[in-house]
Every structure is written in structure tokens, then in C-alpha cells.
Amino acid sequence: MKMRKILIDDRLREIAKKYAKKLFVSRDDEFQRPLAILTKLHDDIPAKEIKYRQYVDKIITEYEPILSATPDKMRTLIREFDALNVDVNRKIPNKKIKFYEAIVSAMRYDALRDKESIPYLKNSGIRVCVYCNSQYALTVENIYYRYTKKRKIRKQVRERKALLELDHYYPKSVYPFLCTSFFNLYPVCSSCNRSKSDSEEIFFELYTENTVQNLNTFNFRIDDESLVRYKTCKRCSVLKFGFEAINSRDNDLKEGHNKIFCIEGIYKTQQDLAVEIIIKSDIYTPAYKKSLLTSFGSAICDESMLNRLILGNYSKEEDIHKRPLAKFTQDLAIQLGLI
């Protein structure tokens, strides 16, 4: 689970705007683009179905703003589309597929997932599943060489792949107009995506525009009693972890995520990692860390880098989306006074 929200700054806004402006632009002339398909869909809807035509027309009119919509803007759009009173599960216009399926198809979500989303996901800086924080969700560029048929000339081959799955905060079966919106696409691992379905309501919103909000939502900690028992018997099996909402109002959110994504079950498997952090907290005292900085300061740079080397993971809160288990590692290290 993503334990920390991401604040939408100017850089992220620009990435979203660029995404909206250039989506599918690089495709060849034979590629059917969303606006053309949406226009045909609009015209195919029977004239008497005025609200359905208005629904499609609104997507066409506000296409780029929809693609780059921030969470606040998405909520505004939802209210506006809901006001049209359209049943997206009706089979319109051709009676073969549901209306929301026609919208999702017209907006080319399938093509987006295969190609266009990759560079923007890479630029977002998210490299782990936003739900469990325990598995990578990578976009990679694979460059290699292969010989031509004559086996004399080597040809460079470049592939870009998304080793992840995309989930929608607002389900495409309910809000199809948001199916390709930048801030509605969450990179997740396949396990979490399989655990979640459109019927499961996820209350955790990854992105926020609230500059005064605490971006952290949850904390891990070692149960104090189990920590005492471990220090007595040195058996990692006695360690128990707490998974807590920082604010009591988020308890339902915690319970929901734990139920869907088995968070506590995942992190119970990390007792050996917890033991390593406990041992490190005994070894790397403040005085010892200070001596290391004094001795190797030119190589280590600063205390945050030293903490990162000690943890074997990122030590800053804003970096937990860069490596699996970063949140778990940081929380335990803070509890034990290691960082």
C-alpha cells in the first residue's frame, strides 16, 4: 500500500499537461485517435438518446482538461457527468456492448497501456506498487544488439516495457470518461491488481493538492512487548508488527486496505528484515554514526546518505515510492532510533 500521498507540484502538473497534449500524437496516420472515434460514437447514438449524446460531446469538448485533471478537477467533472443521469451500463448505441465499454474503447485505453503511458509513468518517479509498497512496478528501457540476417552488421534494438499494471482510482466501469486521465492511473503490481476489483472501493487517494495535509497516512511499528521478548530469546519468530493509521479517522481506510491487499500478511514475512534493523540500531549509535561522518564525510556526503547505506534502502519519507519495503524499513528504523 502506498503509505504516503504524493503532492502534486508544478513539475507533475506539467507532466500531466504534456501527456494530455501529446497523447497518441506520435502514432502513424492509420491509427484511429480518440476524438475521431468519439465523434463517430456520438453520431451513432440515436437522436432520441439526448443525454448519451451530451455525455460523449462533453468528453470531446473537454478532452485535454479531462486527461490532465487533478483530483479536485476530477471530482468536479464527476459531479457534472453525474448530472446528466446517464446509465453507463446500458447497451448504447449498437446494443452489443455497454455504454461505458464503448467509451473506454473509444478513448483507446488499450493502446495507452501498451505504449503511451510508459514514458509518463517513468517520469513520475514511482517505481513500486502504490498499494503494497512491497513489489516493484517498473517502466524499463531495454537496449540490446542483434545481428542482421547476414550476421555482419549489428543492429541496435530499443524496447520500452511497463512491468506493472495500471489501476484506476475511479473505476472505468463507473467513470469511463476518466479511463485515460493521468492522475487516475495508479501503477500497481499484478498481485494487488488481482486482489482489487471494481466492486472493491479503495479510499486511499495517491495524489493530493493539499499543501498543509500530512502526506503520511499509515505507520508500521514493532509491538513493544514482542520486541522485549526478541531481545531476551533472539528468535525473530516472536516479533509482531503493528500496522496503524496515523489519524483515527483513517481506521476504516486501513482496515479496507488490509482486507483487500493483505498488508499485515505481507509484512509478517519480513521478520528477518526487522531483526537486521534491530541489530543495526544497537551497532550504529549516534556517536558511532557521527564518527563515520567525520572519517568518511567526503565519500558519504551527508547523514541522509549514511542512513541510506545503513538501512540498505531510502531513508527519506519522500523517497518511499522508489524501492520496495522503504516505508516499512523507515518506520522501524525511526521507532528504534536508528535514523
Question: CA 219, CA 242: separation in Å to the nearest integer?
Answer: 8
Residues 243 and 142 occupy one common structural domain: no
On whether the CB atoms of residues 125 and 314 are closer than 8 A, the answer is: no
Question: CA 194, CA 172: separation in Å to the nearest integer?
Answer: 16
Query: How do the pLDDT tens digits run along the chain, 339 residues long?
Result: 456 889 999 999 999 999 999 999 989 999 999 999 999 999 999 999 999 999 999 999 999 999 999 999 999 999 999 999 999 999 988 888 999 999 999 999 999 887 888 877 777 788 999 999 999 988 776 666 666 665 565 666 566 676 788 899 999 999 999 999 999 999 999 888 888 765 566 667 899 998 888 888 889 999 999 999 999 999 999 999 989 888 888 888 888 888 888 899 999 999 999 999 999 999 999 999 999 999 887 888 888 999 999 999 999 998 999 999 999 999 999 999 999
Question: CA 304, CA 287: separation in Å to the nearest integer?
Answer: 16
Residues 130 and 222 occupy one common structural domain: no
Residue 262, CB half-sphere, CA atoms under 13 Å: how many? 10
Sequence-distant contacts of 52-55: CB under 8 A, at least 24 apart: 52/86, 52/92, 52/93, 52/99, 54/84, 55/81, 55/84, 55/86, 55/177
Residues 203 and 223 occupy one common structural domain: no
pTM: 0.85
Cβ-based burial of 130 (10 A; exposed 0-12, middle 13-18, buried ≥19): buried
Greatest CA separation for the chain: 79
Residues 102 and 29 occupy one common structural domain: yes
Domain boundary among 189, 208, 227: 208
Residues 81 and 43 occupy one common structural domain: yes
Domain boundary among 163, 184, 208: 208
Q: What is the pLDDT of residue 163?
A: 75
Q: Within a domain: residue 1?
A: no
Q: What is the pLDDT of residue 1?
A: 45
Residues 127 and 15 occupy one common structural domain: yes
Question: CA 102, CA 98: separation in Å to the nearest integer?
Answer: 6
Domain boundary among 190, 208, 226: 208
Residues 178 and 279 occupy one common structural domain: no
Q: Within a domain: residue 118?
A: yes
Name the domain count of the chain: 2
Residues 318 and 176 occupy one common structural domain: no
On whether the CB atoms of residues 70 and 207 are closer than 8 A, the answer is: yes
**What's the domain range around 285?**
218-335
Q: Within a domain: residue 180?
A: yes
Residues 225 and 154 occupy one common structural domain: no
Q: Within a domain: residue 213?
A: no
Q: Within a domain: residue 114?
A: yes
Sequence-distant contacts of 119-127: CB under 8 A, at least 24 apart: 119/160, 120/15, 120/18, 120/19, 120/182, 121/162, 121/164, 121/185, 121/187, 123/15, 124/12, 124/15, 124/187, 125/321, 125/322, 126/6, 126/187, 126/321, 127/321, 127/322, 127/323
Non-local (6+) Cβ contacts of 168 within 8 A are 178, 179, 184, 185, 186
Q: What is the pLDDT of residue 2?
A: 53
Grid coordinates belonging to 251: 481506521
Residues 162 and 39 occupy one common structural domain: yes
Q: Within a domain: residue 10?
A: yes
Q: What is the pLDDT of residue 198?
A: 54
Question: CA 37, CA 32: separation in Å to the nearest integer?
Answer: 7
| Alpha-carbon dihedral sign for residues 172, 178, 184, 188 | positive
Question: CA 166, CA 31: separation in Å to the nearest integer?
Answer: 22
Residues 48 and 174 occupy one common structural domain: yes
Residues 300 and 191 occupy one common structural domain: no
Q: Within a domain: residue 265?
A: yes
